[in-house]
Amino acid sequence: MPGQPQAAPSGETQQVMIEAVGALHTRAASLAHTPAGMRVSQAVGDRLEQCRRLLRDPWDGRYGQTRSSCSWKGAAQGQAARLAAAVRLASEILQADGEQALRRVLDWQPRPVPCLPVLRDLTADHFLLSETHEPGDFVGGGRGAGTPEVTGLIDFHAARVDSPACDLARLLGSWHAGLPSQEAIDQAVAWYHPQASCGVTLTQDPRQLAALIGFFAATGVVLGLDNWFRWLLEDDRQFPDGEAVLARVETHLGALAAAFRRLATMPALV
């Protein structure tokens, strides 16, 4: 497919990308073998269960032996020490701010929400954009010259039936260091909602959708860090670019305290 990803798109390009998500969901919702419907989001249940495990077995218990370095196989000089520092700081933040927030989240009772085929791993890297208007561009046609067009979406390996909020939260997180502001969430919902409801029998309440996006974004920061620690220190997964791995870990770490504060105060609408 033609086009290239944009890691930091402009506001107008972000709108084009959100509209592309809505167009994709609109079409996916009509697939006969995976019909859209009301159900409890599997992603919500999965995340609540991982939050429960984190409370039961926190990072300091799993990795408290970490001192100046970690047993990170294949780490270059200094990388293991940076990972060890991240584990220690994350443990301190979890103890200070996180445990109460996680307990509050675990008191929620998830309710059925509109669900349809979604990708679940929809980051800015997975959009292909071109500034040349071509016949068959996925979305964006009709705007002025120079406005990027979405020419393709890639990486469908995690796709399943779930809430559209999964895709929107993942995309917004890739633009906003993991944790988009409420303003950014509300703007995305305003761009997305009319597209996604066109031709779909389900209606998505904007407030509920925004609340779900906020939940997925905040838990994505916390549980994303939990996943990286497990992959590196328990599962011994190997990654070709250690600096890229540390950048992801440190991005999650930088947003961790704010993510816990958001979980401690957000309305229980999921």
> Domain extents for the chain?
15-126+154-265
* 136 has a pLDDT exceeding 60: no
Question: Would you state the pLDDT for residue 30?
Answer: 77
Question: Would you state the pLDDT for residue 37?
Answer: 83
CATH code of the domain occupying 15-126+154-265: 3.90.1200
Q: How far apart are CA 3 and CA 17, in angstroms?
A: 13
Give the lowest-confidence range in 85-94, 123-132, 141-150, 225-234: 141-150
CB-count burial class (<10 Å; 0-12, 13-18, 19+) for 258: middle
Range 209-229 average pLDDT: 96
Query: Which DSSP state fits 125?
Result: G
For the chain, what is the mean pLDDT?
86
Q: Which two tokens stand for residue 243?
A: 């600096």
Question: Would you state the pLDDT for residue 141?
Answer: 53
Q: How far apart are CA 217 and CA 171, in angstroms?
A: 9
Q: How confident is the model at residue 143 (pLDDT cuts 50, 70, 90)?
A: low
Q: Which two tokens stand for residue 97?
A: 């701010």
**Beta strands of 43-130 (E only): which ranges?**
113-118, 127-130
